[in-house]
Amino acid sequence: MATVTLPTAIQPRSPRGGFVNESFFDFKHHENVRRMETALEHVRGQLGREYDLVIGGHRIKTEGKIRSLNPARPAQIVGIHQKAGAEHAEQAMQAALAAFETWSRTDVETRVSLLLNAGEILRQRKMEFMAWLTFEVGKNWAEADADVSETIDFCEFYAREALRLARAETPIQMPGERNELLYIPLGVGAVIPPWNFPLAIMAGMTLASIVTGNTVVLKPSSDSPTIAAKFIEVLEEAGMPGGVVNFCPGSGATFGNAIVEHPRTRFVAFTGSKAVGLEIHERAARTQPGQIWIKRTVLEMGGKDSMLICADADVDAAVEGVAAAAFGFSGQKCSACSRAMIEAPIYDVFLERLRARVAQLTVGDPAENKNMGPVINKAAMESILGYIEKGRKEGRLIAGGHAIENADGGYLIEPTVIADVAPDAVIAQEEIFGPVLAVIKVESFEEGIKVANNTEYGLTGAIYTNDRERLNHARREFHVGNLYLNRKCTGAMVGAHPFGGFNMSGTDSKGGGPDYLLLFTQAKSVAEKL
């Protein structure tokens, strides 16, 4: 089996100081606006280029192609990509296995240096990557900034966490022995990220895998392969050896299933829909001929997230929080607020203020930094509009409700609010993944908590109240992986808000937290008699 020679470009370096989250740009400053417009123009000149598969460090072309489109202007091709098929799964696996022989035995400081180098490159090219996010998935400037900043945070945070894990000690040293606890890599992992955080989530799962000594077969979403290709270029510039991450856009039904089912795949890290996540979990659980381990799955599978607004809350603050959480990135976040439960005494005034706030939101091309851009593709738009039609029958439409016709054919939908929705209505139970908010009247705080827990999901939630007893009760009884008190339910920050959910929201992986890297390792206890 071939070995991988580490390039001299990776010079071991350790993080300086404690972890600090990457700062966001303030676009009230003219200079930042000018720089972003320049970045957009720079990236616009690169649209439509072709990208190869990267397997074992080699570029490969295929007959089949994937064309990534700008959802704000679907006639505009962002990137053309080779389409990996089932026949490429074995090739990618062998390249990853070969790289694992060396990478798994590489000292942690060198692996950490790769992440730190990548983080610095991203920091220097931050607005360029923001522009790619704007073109490929329709993020406005602030949403794109948050995505790239989170990626930089993952580089810095997981680097520090890998060093901490390498210094792990057993709680007890037995007399006459030297006792060690070693966290060793698992093997080759399949990383299958979503399109909605195509840089941060894709990079986060990949970085956690490789900093702990694993190698990866990366299958990005067919809606956002260009951003993943650009990230591979960053890793290569940072000094990544060939085969450590193998870039393979392709169909989930062919390449994806083949790599999940491969007997040498050791783990699968996935973020996406519940249906696909459960299928991956089932496929990974079937033992294949020659397989000698139980495959590990790290799954994040969506949510139906609620914000409970109590009668004693600051209504204006709650309206702002709900609007931001429901309509940021057009509701295309697994953490997005899709249900707002309002206590009866403030229900009518809350609706009026929410209607007025939503009316202020602008919808259009995110390159022009509108509040809301497009949904990701035509199929998503049709699905969302179908839910809106269902919502018209299940409640009272008070805002939005229509697609927005535009000359560019962009997949634009008005921010939509449907009031008087029953807790068990379809639009109150199923994940819509678009700019649609169901508003539910509750008679009491207790009823609000009960409604908040009545779905099969358990990802994020929030409560607005000035009552300390209610806040404490929510801490205990609001059953979600990420609970926010008197703030919106989106915007998790690496280090501060380890992210992952309960029930059908996934395996509660807690990305960006101190436990995450453990999911990509196995603990080995060593005892030596002295």
Active site residues: 300, 334
Q: Which of 38, 72, 520, 50 is nearest to 298 (CA)?
A: 520
What is the secondary structure of 74-98 as a DSSP string?
EEEEEEEEE-B-HHHHHHHHHHHHH
Tokens in use for 494? 């690496």
| Whole-angstrom distance, CA of residue 413 vs CA of residue 88 | 38
Environment class of 366 (CB within 10 Å of its CB; exposed 0-12, middle 13-18, buried 19+): buried
Q: Which of 243, 186, 246, 253 is nearest to 218 (CA)?
A: 246
Tokens in use for 481? 């992986």
DSSP-derived secondary structure letter, 334: T
Burial 148-181 (b: 16+ CB within 10 A, else e): bbbbbbbbbbbbbbbbebeeeeeeeeeeeeeeee
| Whole-angstrom distance, CA of residue 89 vs CA of residue 243 | 13
Residues facing 33 on adjacent strands:
none
Spatial contact of 39 and 128, defined as CB atoms under 8 Å apart: yes
- What H or E segment, with its residue span, contains residue 234? helix 225-238
Environment class of 457 (CB within 10 Å of its CB; exposed 0-12, middle 13-18, buried 19+): buried
Tokens in use for 94? 């062998």
| Whole-angstrom distance, CA of residue 432 vs CA of residue 414 | 14
Cα dihedral 412, 413, 414, 419 in deg (nearest 10): -170
* Long-range pairs of 64-70 with CB within 8 A, sequence gap ≥ 24: 66/222, 66/225, 66/249, 66/250, 68/136, 68/222, 68/223, 68/224, 68/225, 68/226, 69/377, 70/135, 70/136, 70/138
Spatial contact of 44 and 12, defined as CB atoms under 8 Å apart: no
| Whole-angstrom distance, CA of residue 211 vs CA of residue 109 | 9
Alpha helices in 303-368 (DSSP H): 315-327, 347-359
| Whole-angstrom distance, CA of residue 186 vs CA of residue 104 | 9
Burial 237-269 (b: 16+ CB within 10 A, else e): ebbbbbbbbbbbbbbbebbbbbbbbbebbbbbb
